[in-house]
Structure 1
Amino acid sequence: MDLQLDQLRALDAVLTEGTFEAAARRLSVTPSAISQRIKALEDAAGRILLQRSKPVRATESGLAVLRLARQVALLAGDTARELGDADRPADRPIRIPIAVNADSLESWVMPALARVPAGIFFDLHREDEEHTTRLLRDGTVMAAITATATPVRGCKVDPLGAMRYRPMATPDFAGTWFPNGPTPAAYTSAPVVHFDRKDDLQFRQLRRRVRRDVDPPSHYVPSSNGFAEAVRLGLGWGMLPDLQTGTDRAAGTLVNVDGDSAIDVPLYWQQWKLHSPALSAVATAIADAAATALSIR
């Protein structure tokens, strides 16, 4: 199977941008040239790689070739930067897609990425830490912060630490809905805030205390800052990370509705097994920041 570099770049661009036209703009060619390259790539692979929908989507075979395309692009970029290639100078950017859970993104990941050497750029995909490995598996990202210790095929895993979450609420909310403390009856009836329908932390806390599945009145706020703000405004209780609530706890504006109760969520760095200086630089920055931010090991 003879796959050309320009064809692989076209596939990556189409799936990143979502349309042939946008891919053409990114690569500074015509949409017709993109179409021809994709057709040639599919002929070489002997199968359909793209679903011509809006946005364009990869078939299962397309995901396998996409992973190859992004590996080749990363390694080619590393080599060009090392050699100072005239056609791809050392300052030409390398793009690394990474899956990150919302709470890490809002608290400690951005300062970590700011330490990465110039010329490396990021395409961040926000996803629940329990689901980021899906994006690694299908080739959408090269690395992920995940709660899964088992490596995805072709990836390696390093532990980062853990984020500690507590069931927090305003003092007024706790006094109204938990007057007798964290009883099963209180947990069953008290309004709760969820990040989204993939967010299982509140249900984990409920199962610990009620010992059965319950469905209390719920708000869904799919924003890390918005989620914390909903709890601060008294809309409900929610599992908030210590990294977001230190000032609130010190000032007494948020309290733990369940004494010292907490849930520790372990986090891991998974990345493709590639000898890539750029990817290694990102991994080092993430590990260094996690050593400070995630003190629970």
Structure 2
Amino acid sequence: MPFQFDHLRTLTALVEEGTFEAAARRLHVTSSAVSQRVRAMEQAAGQVLVRRTNPVLPTEAGDAVLRHARQVLLLDQEVRSELRSVGHERGHARVPLAVNADSLSTWFLEALPPGLGAVFELHREDEEHTTGLLRSGAVMAAVTSTPEAVQGCSVEPLGSLRYQAVCAPDFAERFGATDPRRLPDAPMVNFDRKDDLQDRFLRDLTGGGSRGPTHYVPASEDFARAVLLGWGWGVIPEHQCAEGLASGALVPLAPELPVEVRLYWQRWNLRSPLLDEVTRHVRAGAAAHLRPV
């Protein structure tokens, strides 16, 4: 079922802005026009595409159409950008990407040079859940720990991000954290409730999980600082904890048991020069910072 280009643009704006009024302002049309275009798409699809909630959310069918809409808009933006470059004007295509917090804070930003002719919209999400944003059409590509390709996407390995379990020296002394028998009862720092790296480390070390209190610090640099300040022990990327370990500000808990997280790059299986170029830079950045797998 073919959709009109303006209708695809309207659906994308509605989901991104969250309300009919905000989408109308972005598109310079009336709220009624936005509503009429969406209804026309739903009639063509024979299904409801968006839930009229606040904010507006796509249905499962809406996710599929949204993914198609964003692919069409990307190709249109690339053509327009190429035409503008011929006329010596600059154009920028919008590229939404999903990245896990630790990659974002250690290597991913450096991998993307500012002169790609793109406007990046980065969605921070746990590496085990970034594929959900791909399935919904919210992003064009994602750093993920999932090796199985999402339908309509290609996948390639990037490398392994290595973590070490560490804590502050006074914390280690106070709670006996370097003793595997006592560590499960010591306070722990988690990134959020999706974060299972600390529990993975404990299972490898002791065969069980944590029995102590858990702090939640949902920002990569703040997480590392909370561990440094003695809030609890935590699992931190090698790049982030190397200086603290070298200076003695951090104590390793079991350096022989690093936690390895294999990362993959999944992207729309779409012929897009811009997405190809982004992929090349991500691949090179990963090769420079991650361990080969």
- Does structure 1 residue 224 correspond to structure 2 residue 223? no
Aligned to 1:251, which of 230, 247, 272? 247
**TM alignment of 1:189-204, pairs within 5 A:** 189-204=185-200
The whole-number CA distance in structure 2 between the counterparts of 1:72 and 1:215 is 50
The whole-number CA distance in structure 2 between the counterparts of 1:295 and 1:140 is 29
**TM alignment of 1:82-121, pairs within 5 A:** 82-84=82-84, 91-118=90-117, 120-121=118-119
Contact 1:182 1:258 (C-alpha < 8 Å) held by counterparts: no
Q: CA deviation at 1:216?
A: 1.9
Q: Report the CA distance shift for 1:116/1:163 in structure 2 as closer, same or farther (over 3 A).
A: farther
The whole-number CA distance in structure 1 between the counterparts of 2:9 and 2:100 is 28
Aligned residues: 293
Contact 2:187 2:214 (C-alpha < 8 Å) held by counterparts: yes
The TM-score, its normalising length taken from structure 2, stands at 0.95
The TM-score, its normalising length taken from structure 1, stands at 0.93
Unpaired runs of 5+ residues, structure 2, are none
Contact 2:19 2:54 (C-alpha < 8 Å) held by counterparts: yes
Q: Provide Cα deviations, 1:10-51, integer angstroms capped at 9, x if missing partner.
A: 000111111112212222222222112111111211211111
Match in the other structure for 2:154: 156
Contact 1:116 1:282 (C-alpha < 8 Å) held by counterparts: no
Range 88-97 or range 133-142, more displaced: 88-97
Contact 2:163 2:258 (C-alpha < 8 Å) held by counterparts: yes
Match in the other structure for 1:3: 3
- Does structure 1 residue 276 correspond to structure 2 residue 292? no
Unpaired runs of 5+ residues, structure 1, are none
Q: CA deviation at 1:280?
A: 1.1
RMSD value, Cα: 1.9
Q: CA deviation at 1:282?
A: 1.1
Q: Provide Cα deviations, 1:176-231, integer angstroms capped at 9, x if missing partner.
A: 2226x332x21221111000010000000111122133432111111111111100
Contact 1:163 1:296 (C-alpha < 8 Å) held by counterparts: no
Q: Report the CA distance shift for 1:94/1:264 in structure 2 as closer, same or farther (over 3 A).
A: same
The whole-number CA distance in structure 1 between the counterparts of 2:59 and 2:241 is 43
Match in the other structure for 2:60: 60
Q: CA deviation at 1:249?
A: 1.7
Range 9-18 or range 21-30, more displaced: 21-30
Q: Secondary structure at the match of 2:122?
A: strand
Which structure 1 residue ranges, 4+ long, deviate > 3 Å from structure 2? 83-86
Match in the other structure for 2:47: 47
Contact 1:187 1:210 (C-alpha < 8 Å) held by counterparts: no
Q: CA deviation at 1:82?
A: 2.5
**TM alignment of 1:105-184, pairs within 5 A:** 105-118=104-117, 120-178=118-176, 181-183=178-180
Q: Which amino acid aligns with 2:228?
A: R
Q: CA deviation at 1:104?
A: 0.8
The whole-number CA distance in structure 1 between the counterparts of 2:52 and 2:245 is 52
The whole-number CA distance in structure 2 between the counterparts of 1:160 and 1:2 is 36
Q: Which amino acid aligns with 1:134?
A: G
Q: Report the CA distance shift for 1:186/1:220 in structure 2 as closer, same or farther (over 3 A).
A: same
Q: CA deviation at 1:115?
A: 4.5
Contact 2:158 2:292 (C-alpha < 8 Å) held by counterparts: no
The whole-number CA distance in structure 1 between the counterparts of 2:115 and 2:109 is 10
